[in-house]
A and B are shown apart, each in its own frame.
Chain A
Amino acid sequence: MLIYDEYHLPTSLEEALALWADAPEGSRLVSGATDILPWARDGRAGDVHLPALIDVTRIGELRGQKFEKGRVRLGANTVYQDFLTNDTLRRALPCMPHCAIWFADDQIRQQASLAGNLVNASPVADGTPPVVALNGEIELARLEDGEIRRRCVPVVDFIEGPGRTRIQPGEIATAVILDAANGYGGAFQKVGQRRSLVISVACCAALVKTDSSGRVFEDVRLALGGVGPGPMRLSAIESAMRGERVSRALIRRVAAGAGDMVASRSRKEYRREVVVNFVRAALEEALANQPDIEVKFQDAGETVDA
């Protein structure tokens, strides 16, 4: 049971930062509350008594999305459902709808923020692999001598381990900034027990762009979640694929190599097998999902074997 003595709903960033800076020890920020409320239950943190919660969802500045210099700036109040319902975002972040459709359910996605997902830093968060694949940064704001100061931290570095991030006392996440990947094909893979309401055992995000003939990989992005303490970008595989001819053999080869990235301590062999299959399936799906390009596999005649 979560008990708190005060609940603040600031409407401006200044107000929120001031409240946060002065909040009694133990106070927490809250966005969708979909991590915080279930956390304070038996078997996890149990009953928790906090002095105050500061709700960021009414801060106007944290709403909405902006495009600037090939990047998308998602206000920290962007929720997972937005990746399914907002067409501009769907086109610019082609792996996000696939990630969102696997995420919790329609109701929780209305509340669950991407920023909360990143700050919560669960090793099996679904949001981290696609964000990392999109060269994501998290923007953090704090008050210094009455002025708002901001800094950006790449999400790969921001997440240090399970539940640990580089956020500093007094800081509020204000945005997540990602590459605009219009024209890419996106995909997301996740293992769980059922379709909805399931936390990943492991997950994988992919983005692919070929040349206009559909024959050569111009860009490939791959990231894994749930196979180590933090998200993992498969940069070596990506660079090995750039400029190469699109072929099933190549996909199979890189997928086999990806299995070696698994650093989890539990169910390692299982995760290894999953990762090999995920990387292959994610690349194939991302190729298939590329808008307006007919992909030509070099070895088109061959059948795919798992």
Chain B
Amino acid sequence: MPKMKLEMEVNNRKVVKETDTHKRLIDFLREDLNLTGTKEGCGAGECGTCSVFVDGKLVKSCLMPAAKANGAKIETIEGLAKPGELTPVQKAFHKTGASQCGYCIPGMVMAATACLRENPKAGIEEIKERLGGNICRCTGYTKIFEAVEIARSVVAGEAPAGVLDEDEPLGESYIGHNVRRLDAPSKVTGRLKYAADMKLPDMLQMQVLRSPHAHARIVSIDTSEAEAMDGVACVITADDVPGKDGFGVFVHDQPIMARGKVRHVGEAVAAVAAEDLVTARRALSKIKVEYEVLPGLFDAEEALKPGAPVIHDYAPGNVVKHIPVRKGDVEKGFAEADLILEDDFSTQQVEHAYLEPEAGVAYVDADDVVTVISPSQNITHHRHMLADIIAKPINKVRFIMSPVGGGFGGKEDMIYQGMLALAAMKTHRPVQLNFTREESLIASAKRHPSRVHYRMGLKRDGRITAVEFSMLSDGGAYGMSSEGVMRKAAILSCGPYEIENLKVDTRAVYTNNTPSGAFRTFGGMQAQFATESMMDMAAEALDLDPFEIRRINMMKIGSLTHTQQALKTASLDRVLDAAEKASRWEKGAPKVRGATRQDLDGPDTRKSCTLGARIAAEVSGAEKGQRSGASEKTKDSERVA
């Protein structure tokens, strides 16, 4: 690899190093200087986890060739404060709880710092705008903006530094009190090591060859040329699995790497561990895979049709799981109804997009314990499954959970830990695999796309007499969490309403789409979208206030849930009261409101996005200010249009 000598001043220290010519600034900082507070969330300029100052300007270090920064003055998250100290911005992030998983936080702190350096008096709109290049998936930004505003007031001398300290405790209890997170200092300083930040001596880098086909038989895999390359330590395929291959949260239908056939685009087919990333990537292109393309299945309804392609031999009807729930007598319930509403609701696939792409390190220790470090959301289960897969007793398998840079359910599946373990076993060297963002998108599970067919019977007074709820979900190529998701969708199906007569069916089927898995609410959201929409439509049809129709049907103490559990406590009445009050709800059926609504844009609602706070501030005269405000509105409505 051609080398280049780089000289920079990094965090006030002169650095002279020879490194690969093609490295980006982010690589140079992380790999050559071990400054891993700068994170790689996307590698494409889209997320801001890699923000650093170059000659005083904040830039995205994944978009800068290291050579371009030759001679420059660099400031990273590690350089903002002296060891053991925090800057006002870092303190404010600690105070407000602005860091959750923390993966976006070094970049956020850098962006907030840049904002206040550019304009120590920046208003909230300008703060939002200047942080626009940094994405956070955990916090919803509110706490982050709060932190920047507090820091601004201190930096601008408008508030004493004491506002950055922790609030005085209120008596003995923590309840109702702001408690600072214990892990926040490690996150706001960039000191916390996520799996991709870890380095072990003699560590290899892994890269994965993924399927370009949705459904194909693997005729042959020839790894010989890749294996013969200098710097390649091993190539692994399904053939290297010593034990009983197969993992999954419920059904163990997924091999560590494709075995015999591929079932979705992006499925792992082979993996290379090499001395460095470039060699590993070059080796991938030398692996020859011969495929025989099979007819694909891309629609959940098609999957149930007779003669549909079969994705897994064990499930000839392509059904991953069917969960039926029955209560009362639906026929009778519909017969009693004054009104029957019927509709269909569909939701799409959703990616978790945690800021930390999947990453992990595996090694075999001196006692032959196979150890995997990764941000797994389910290490105990992974440990048990891996023990079977690599045919080792459980005491010879160890999982260490590294800080999870966002999971939201998406890191419950063991989609790469097995490959790391196999390569470590084959080489007896530590092996690391860091997904690219593209790889994370293509290979990780998604929220189930679902279709719900809904029938609801109601009395004229708003009481629900019967519900028929039928959900069909696209489980994609592997079972993953589908069973649990269907179970939860069925349990939550008809919402927090007491329904005497119901017939609920939730089904997940196999297709050749990217697998669906766990995602916040675990099927609840898809079901609630349908149920709550039905409630609003019922309110409209019956001329009832949407809160009222919910109160009429809500579960109370003593109610029987859909699965016939008698409730000993219930709080929906209080939830509805609080929501009604907080939203300044105007009573009435949905149809009496519309254009005359007065409850929008209240003092505590989030305002719609504006643009050009810096430009608008300069447009002189109140009248002009109003006009440019009006045009922002136009923009928003067009964007919706």
Interface residues of A (CB under 8 A from B): 1-7, 9, 30, 32-34, 37-38, 41-43, 47, 53, 55, 57, 84, 97-98, 101-102, 104-108, 110-111, 187, 189, 191-192, 194-197, 273-274, 277-278, 281, 284-285, 288-289, 306
Q: Which residue of A lies closest to B43 (CB)?
A: A41
Q: Which residues of B contact A285 (CB under 8 A)?
A: 628, 631
Is B439 in the interface zone, CB < 8 Å from A?
yes
Is B51 in the interface zone, CB < 8 Å from A?
yes
Q: Which residues of A contact B182 (CB under 8 A)?
A: none
| Shortest Cβ-Cβ A-B pairs, 10 listed | A105-B133, A196-B132, A7-B67, A42-B438, A38-B44, A5-B2, A3-B22, A288-B627, A110-B57, A285-B631
Docked CA distance A284–B639 (Å): 17
CB–CB B133/A37 < 8 A: no
CB–CB B635/A189 < 8 A: yes
Is B436 in the interface zone, CB < 8 Å from A?
yes
CB–CB B64/A111 < 8 A: yes
- Interface CB pairs A-B, < 8 A, 5: A37-B64, A55-B65, A101-B614, A197-B46, A288-B627
Q: Which residues of B contact A101 (CB under 8 A)?
A: 129, 611-612, 614-615
Give residues 457-491 of B contacting A (CB, 8 Å). none
CB–CB A106/B114 < 8 A: yes
Q: Which residues of A contact B45 (CB under 8 A)?
A: 34, 37-38, 104, 108, 197
Give residues 131-152 of B contacting A (CB, 8 Å). 132-133, 135
Q: Which residues of A contact B51 (CB under 8 A)?
A: 107
Sort chain B's interface into a size bin: 35 or more
Q: Knowing A1-B278, A98-B612 touch, does A108 contact B60 (C-beta < 8 A)?
A: yes
CB–CB B63/A38 < 8 A: yes
Query: How near does chain B come to A255, taking the closest CB pair, in angstroms?
Result: 12
Q: Mark B609-641, 1 if CB is under 8 A from A, else 0.
A: 101101100010000100110010011011101
Query: How near does chain A come to B434, taking the closest CB pair, in angstroms?
Result: 12
CB–CB B21/A5 < 8 A: yes
Q: Which residues of B contact A7 (CB under 8 A)?
A: 4, 21-22, 65, 67-68
Docked CA distance A195–B635 (Å): 11
Q: Which residues of B contact A274 (CB under 8 A)?
A: 638, 641
Query: How near does chain B come to A290, taking the closest CB pair, in angstroms?
Result: 10
CB–CB A42/B612 < 8 A: no
Q: Knowing A7-B67, A38-B44, A38-B45 touch, does A277 contact B615 (C-beta < 8 A)?
A: no
Is B48 in the interface zone, CB < 8 Å from A?
yes
Is B384 in the interface zone, CB < 8 Å from A?
no
Is B180 in the interface zone, CB < 8 Å from A?
no
Q: Which residues of B contact A284 (CB under 8 A)?
A: 631, 634
CB–CB B637/A306 < 8 A: yes
CB–CB B635/A9 < 8 A: no
Docked CA distance A109–B45 (Å): 11
Give residues 41-97 of B contacting A (CB, 8 Å). 43-46, 48, 51, 57-60, 62-65, 67-68, 70
Is B396 in the interface zone, CB < 8 Å from A?
no
Docked CA distance A187–B634 (Å): 13
Docked CA distance A57–B67 (Å): 12
CB–CB A33/B132 < 8 A: no
Docked CA distance A110–B70 (Å): 17
Docked CA distance A84–B298 (Å): 47
Docked CA distance A84–B628 (Å): 17
Docked CA distance A5–B23 (Å): 10
CB–CB B63/A106 < 8 A: no
Is B551 in the interface zone, CB < 8 Å from A?
no
Q: Which residues of A contact B277 (CB under 8 A)?
A: 1
